[in-house]
Structure 1
Amino acid sequence: MRHFSMRFRGILRSNDAQRLGGWLSDAHRSAIYAMQRFIRTLRRHIDAVRNALTERWSNGQTEGLIDRLETLKRAKYGRASTELLRARMLPLRVPTEHIL
């Protein structure tokens, strides 16, 4: 499993979508059940995987903010008002003029 994981990591780091097909075939033929499940999941989302390798754009920052908001909502168990969530999510407003 380590061998397949390291190969996959190399494909991700090199952004080489050409090597992805061979890796998928090799990993699927392995006798490792967890790897076969992972390959089935990747194949269901193969367009997104290829785009992640070939495109320079990422929605990682957006996903991080969404995860943060969901964590806050879970922490409040639905009892937080929208005002409280807004106060926790938005930065503090700093006055534009300094008082000396």
Structure 2
Amino acid sequence: MDLQAPIDLEIVNALIAATPDTWNAAEMIVEREQLGEDESMKIVIFSPEGFRDIVGPTDEIYVGLYKLSDLFGEYGKIWSRVSYAVSMTPEGAWRYKIKFEY
């Protein structure tokens, strides 16, 4: 889905911006539920490195996730769970992995 990549990047950048500067990695698990016309998302953000800072989803994360959900609804099966994992490389660049469950 060529339309998906920019949305994923928007979500990844929002996740990185939401985490403390001391984190070199973060994971976000999103569980999506559809009840009739109402859609809700439960979002958990944590450090796989063991940092205990509390990080909640920002408006930018929500906007990106709802865009992603709308896109999937338009073009295929909507996911029920998605996880984003971001980590910093030794060179200081960020990389990410995404996993969808349906």
Q: TM-score range by the shorter chain?
A: 0.3 to 0.5
Asked which structure has the greater CA Rg, the reply is 1
Higher relative contact order (CA 8 A, sep 6+): 2
